[in-house]
Amino acid sequence: MATEADAEPETADTYEQFRAHVEQLTYVGDAAGVLQWDQEVMMPEEGTPARSKQSAALSTLSHDLLTDDDVAEWLDELEGADLAPEQAAVVREIRRQHDRAAKVPSDLVQRISEATSNALPVWKEAKAEDDFEIYADTLEKLVQLKREYAEAIDPDRDPYAVLFEEYEPYLGLDTAEAALEDLRDTLVPLIDDIEDSDVTLADPFEGSYDEASQEDLVRSALDYLGYDWDRGRLDTAPHPFSTGTQFDARVTTRFDPADPLGALSSTIHEFGHATYTLGLPDEHYGTPLGESRDLSVHESQSRLWENHVGRSRPFWEGFAPTVEDHLGTSATPREYYEAANTVHPDNLIRVEADELTYHMHIVLRFEIERDLIHGDLDVSEVPQVWNDKMEEYLGVRPETDAEGCLQDIHWSHGSFGYFPTYSLGSVLAAQLFAAAEDDIGDLDGQLRDGEFDDLHGWLTDSVHSHGARYETDDLIEEATGEPFTADYFLEYAESKYRNLYDC
């Protein structure tokens, strides 16, 4: 098998030129990410006109670097060469990105970037004013631009499938649809049984908890789990997110005085994202070998830490004293565990949803954005359809747009096709956690003792260290020994929640 040292001198020289170009492309994209972080976290409110131009310039530059004629020539030469496996993976990933980007006009890239940057303050205003009409024209423009984008890449395919591949290029939309169908078929009856149960789970969180106490708590949680503060930071944002590189992976959260568990689970979720990013190999920064394997895998890391760790009974047996120190509550670990896993079908907000009904929120968004992109749903109909689907799937109807169709930031980013990866990630999290349990042994005991090194190490070795070397399905088989499957999640959900609710 070829190695870098074995490559022919001419091929080695071509690859080095190619890699240097790819690194510049990566650096530009990462700089754009810092600008986006700043806009969502720290930028003055009136900074949008300049920021939209700055972001558009970087997006255009990134597009031009990716579609450069030299890139096409290097790819053609390298694809026929005897490359080391890691080099071949870099070529494969850039080929996929290049072929998509080369079909999209630079002016469209610029228009999308400006539109998404300008959309953010409009979305914030519409949400604050609880008025979808403020946002409607902006959303219509974004939908049209993303249709145009999908058509440029492949006018003969389902445009939503084309957009979905932006976030999960290898599992396929058919896999996502099948997984969502499995979740709906299993979880809806389970949720119905829970609602019919006579069991009421404990809730030791009563009253109001100030932001300072909650921030101290979530910072302690990040310490407890092993967050690297030398390569990260915690801030607040209207919609929590994580972003960065293996040298600088930042997390955000938000606080509700009546819901300290919401801030805690949100922070642990973003910690999972950051841990993946920080686990990527330093030496490969700048190429796909130092980048994450797309959003389904990324979401698996956040959901694994949020749910399989942060919502587990062993975690609460170790972490309960920390909660009591910061919030002044007094309860048993079992009671905290029950509070963290209470099913609330009447919860309107996705990021505050419990582990089961969460997926109905995803199904709703998936169906709406797919219909928007297909042209089967007019933007003006979104609030009504959203509320109807909430009532159908969860038995609750939003009274405001802020609690309904304006709650998520994703469409303002132009991220149509993103939502299914949340459920794919949850499914994969259960599969990965089961494999980690098999390999580590007494994982529950370690979580109970607040010892996370073995789990961190297993995830780094099995997932993070590979970057984007493997396609998604191959990475899953490498890590777990099996193809992608929803079985582990469905078995986990049935066992955990039927035990909790005695149903």
At residue 9, the pLDDT reads 78
Q: Domain of 400?
A: 173-501
CA–CA separation, 488 vs 428, rounded Å? 8
Q: What are the DSSP E strand ranges found in 343-464? A: none
Confirm if 190 and 497 have CB atoms less than 8 A apart. yes
* Pair 112, 218 in one domain: no
* Pair 9, 63 in one domain: yes
Q: How many CB atoms lie within 10 A of CB 103?
A: 14
* Pair 347, 411 in one domain: yes
CA–CA separation, 456 vs 272, rounded Å? 10
Q: Measuring CA to CA, which residue among 325, 403, 390, 345 is closest to residue 364? A: 390
Domain end (from 85, 107, 134): 134
Domain end (from 104, 134, 164): 134
At residue 351, the pLDDT reads 85
Residue 210 lies in a domain: yes
* Pair 129, 178 in one domain: no
Backbone angles phi, psi at 250, to 5 degrees: -100, 150
Distances (CA, A) of 396 to 30, 239, 390, 391: 40, 22, 6, 5
Residue 433 lies in a domain: yes
Active-site choice (166, 270, 317, 471): 270
Looking at the DSSP assignment, which residues form a beta bridge with residue 133? none
* Pair 365, 294 in one domain: yes
Q: Measuring CA to CA, which residue among 151, 428, 175, 187 is closest to residue 295? A: 428
At residue 1, the pLDDT reads 44
* Pair 43, 185 in one domain: no
**Residue 167 structure tokens:** 């976030």
* Pair 181, 52 in one domain: no
Domain end (from 79, 107, 134): 134
pLDDT digit string (tens) for the chain, length 503 residues: 455 445 577 889 999 999 999 999 999 999 999 999 999 999 999 999 999 999 999 999 999 999 999 999 999 999 989 999 999 999 999 999 999 999 999 999 999 999 999 999 999 999 999 999 999 999 999 999 999 999 999 999 999 999 999 999 999 999 999 999 999 999 999 999 999 999 999 999 988 999 999 999 999 999 999 999 999 999 999 889 999 999 999 999 999 999 999 999 999 999 999 999 999 999 999 999 999 999 999 999 999 999 999 999 999 999 999 999 999 999 999 999 999 999 999 999 998 899 999 999 999 999 999 999 999 999 999 999 999 999 998 999 999 999 999 999 999 999 999 999 999 999 999 999 999 999 999 999 999 999 999 999 999 999 999 999 999 999 999 999 999 999 999 999 999 999 999 99
105 dihedral zone (left: phi>0; alpha: psi -120 to 50; beta)? beta
Residue 423 makes CB contacts below 8 A (sequence gap 6+) with 176, 179, 180, 183, 359, 362, 363
**Residue 108 structure tokens:** 């469209």
Helix 106-129 vs helix 48-67: angle between axes, to the nearest 10 degrees?
A: 150
Q: Measuring CA to CA, which residue among 439, 438, 427 is closest to residue 491? A: 427
At residue 6, the pLDDT reads 53
The CATH code of the domain that includes 410 is 1.10.1370.30
CA–CA separation, 27 vs 62, rounded Å? 9
* Pair 181, 276 in one domain: yes
Residue 164 lies in a domain: no
471 is catalytic: no
Q: Structural domain tally of the chain?
A: 2
* Pair 110, 208 in one domain: no
Residue 160 lies in a domain: no
Residue 253 three-state SS = strand
At residue 80, the pLDDT reads 85
* Pair 194, 56 in one domain: no
Residue 156 lies in a domain: no
Confirm if 7 and 82 have CB atoms less than 8 A apart. yes
CA–CA separation, 92 vs 387, rounded Å? 43
* Pair 216, 311 in one domain: yes
Q: What are the DSSP E strand ranges found in 125-273? A: 234-236, 242-245, 248-253
Residue 259 lies in a domain: yes
**Residue 150 structure tokens:** 């999908």
Residue 104 lies in a domain: yes
Residue 242 three-state SS = strand
Q: Measuring CA to CA, which residue among 378, 399, 373 is closest to residue 387? A: 399
Residue 102 lies in a domain: yes
At residue 273, the pLDDT reads 98
Predicted TM-score (pTM) of the model is: 0.93
* Pair 215, 100 in one domain: no
